Amino acid sequence: MTKARSNASSTQSKLEFDREDWASAYVNVEKELSQFPLKAKQGVIPPDLLGTLFRNGPGRLERDGQIVHHPFDGDGMIASINFKNGQAIFSNKFVRTEAWLEEEAAGRFLYRGVFGTQKKGGPFANAFDVRLKNIANTNVIQLGGELLALWEAANPYALDPSNLKTHGVSTLNGTLLPGEAFSAHPRFDPGHHGENRMVTYGVNTGPTSKIRLMEFAKTGALLSDRNDSFKGFAFLHDFVITPNWAVFLQNAISFNPLPFVFGQKGAAQCLSSNSKNQSKFLLIPRDCGAFAGEKPRIIKGPKGFVFHHLNAFEKDNEIIVDSIYYKDFPSIGPGQDFREIDFNLIPEGILKRCSINLKKEFVTTEELSSQCCEFATVNPYREGLSARFAWMAVAQKAKGNGPLQGIKKLDLLTGKKYLWSAAPRGFVSEPLMVPNKASSGEDEGWIIFFTWNGERRATDLLILNSVDLTEQAIIELPIAIPHGLHGSWVS
Ligand code: CO
């Protein structure tokens, strides 16, 4: 399945990953560390790197001998690394969600997971239990004085940024109703209209879907709030902003809840691509922009399925949206073990650019890169504006799917690329671009990310120069953290 193919060149087969190495990352995080000083094993931690990296991801994957059906069902565990004067200090803590506390006490899973984890006892024990377990595992950001651990189907959990202690479920000072959906993918407007803002949304879906678009000041104050309804089921994991628009891509998928209700499948396993449906771009005017108060625009989108976008910007009569497209919605069926997955059978993520012509209401699409990628980012000061450079996690091979093992920098103007690789035994997670405030170049700064070190069976932290991806520092963490989801940088 994942063995080196006979026609692969000797260089390629040397770099071919071992699935055991990849799967070995799926372990419970066994300890919580507080203010643990780290040392670079190789290189030097840049003294100009000042701030804190916060990362979220599943940290509890097994209870009472039962492993989650999909790693996305694992409880959120936050890691933080504070950088100052060339020193780095590490802490990590589970988010004390209500369900985590209950399951810790019980020593077994008491809830079903959205991605297919079932309670023991088969469909009979799971049927009609449609409670959602808020696992707060998808992203972590700072708003006002608090950290927010995000999970898109419910309220965020608030934490203390200094020690990662859980304060509890947050309604953001009464902005959210209890249990209301709140996206795990806020976007940070770097000052399109003066002040920095966090722009985010919540989706309530069904035959009609409601999107609530919210903008917050850095202090956490709510600046604007609007609600729009759209026809059809909407799975909206991510979105993008420009100075005037919030841009959503409504994927062409269907949701059949019956296997979920009857205890046979997790809710997300009931999603499927629907070629009869048409994907649509939903363009909602921002309240601070030129089209404030106007109705949303709806324009037919391309084929394919999108979880994550790279960026968007406005150009004359067009909105340009760069996103990672899959041929189909990938799901792990009830009988499958995610650790046994055959990457060759899953569609790869391809970075594509859509140009949405607002006057003529049509979309043209072009491929920006054919190498399988995920977790793409631009310089945060270019969010919502035209950006020349992008950084992303990539599979080792040039074509087809594979685990993420490299980092790529792509010049969107010239197509020039740089590659850094952790293959064969290393596996990368989402890279963050931290601009060097002392420099003005768009690509000047650092790329920071965790890798799973298959040889050491533990996690490393990598710091690369963002211009040419040269290694600045490799730091071995005294802990094993499973392949993670999203995180953020706080200066
Ligand atoms: Co995401």
User: Which of 222, 138, 224 shows the shortest CA–CA distance to 181?
Assistant: 138
Distance 139 CA to ligand 1 centre (A): 8
Q: Are 217 and 186 in contact (CB under 8 A)?
A: no
Distance 466 CA to ligand 1 centre (A): 22
The whole-number pLDDT of residue 269 equals 76
Q: Model's pTM, two decimal places? A: 0.94
Q: Domains for the chain: give ranges and CATH numbers.
A: 5-490 (2.140.10)
Q: Are 312 and 306 in contact (CB under 8 A)?
A: no
For residue 100 the two structure tokens come to 């985590």
Distance 6 CA to ligand 1 centre (A): 35
In which element (H, E) is residue 34 found?
A: none
Distance 485 CA to ligand 1 centre (A): 7
Distance 86 CA to ligand 1 centre (A): 30
Distance 55 CA to ligand 1 centre (A): 12
Q: What is the pLDDT along the chain (491 residues), one digit of tens a residue?
A: 333 333 334 455 567 899 999 999 999 999 999 999 999 999 999 999 999 999 999 999 999 999 998 888 999 999 999 999 999 999 999 999 999 999 999 999 999 888 778 877 777 777 777 777 899 999 999 999 999 999 999 999 999 999 999 999 999 999 999 999 999 999 999 999 999 999 999 999 888 999 999 999 999 999 999 999 999 888 899 999 999 999 999 988 777 777 766 677 777 777 777 777 789 999 999 999 999 999 999 999 999 899 999 999 999 999 999 999 998 876 666 677 888 888 888 899 999 999 999 999 999 999 999 999 999 999 999 999 999 999 999 999 999 999 999 999 999 999 999 999 999 999 999 999 999 998 889 999 999 999 999 999 999 999 999 999 999 999 999 999 999 999 999 99
Q: How many CB atoms lie within 10 A of CB 479?
A: 18
Distance 206 CA to ligand 1 centre (A): 21
Q: Are 446 and 463 in contact (CB under 8 A)?
A: yes
> What is the length of the chain?
491
The whole-number pLDDT of residue 485 equals 95
Residue with tokens 């792990």, as numbered in its chain: 332
Distance 306 CA to ligand 1 centre (A): 10
Quickly list DSSP for 378-392. Answer: --GGGTTS--SEEEE
d(CA 134, CA 128): 18
Q: How many CB atoms lie within 10 A of CB 463?
A: 24
Distance 310 CA to ligand 1 centre (A): 11
Beta strand 195-204 with 432-435 is unpaired
Strand order in the sheet with 157-159: 139-143, 146-150, 157-159, 166-169
Q: Can you count the helices (H) and strands (E) in the chain?
A: 5, 35
Distance 402 CA to ligand 1 centre (A): 18
d(CA 404, CA 17): 10
d(CA 475, CA 455): 15
User: Which of 222, 223, 58, 38 shows the shortest CA–CA distance to 140?
Assistant: 58
Which residues fall within 8 angstroms of residue 24, CB to CB, at 6 or more apart? 452, 454, 457
d(CA 235, CA 205): 8
Distance 254 CA to ligand 1 centre (A): 20
For residue 314 the two structure tokens come to 């406005």
Distance 488 CA to ligand 1 centre (A): 12
User: Which of 384, 369, 390, 385 shows the shortest CA–CA distance to 443?
Assistant: 390
Residue with tokens 């899973």, as numbered in its chain: 109
d(CA 445, CA 461): 16
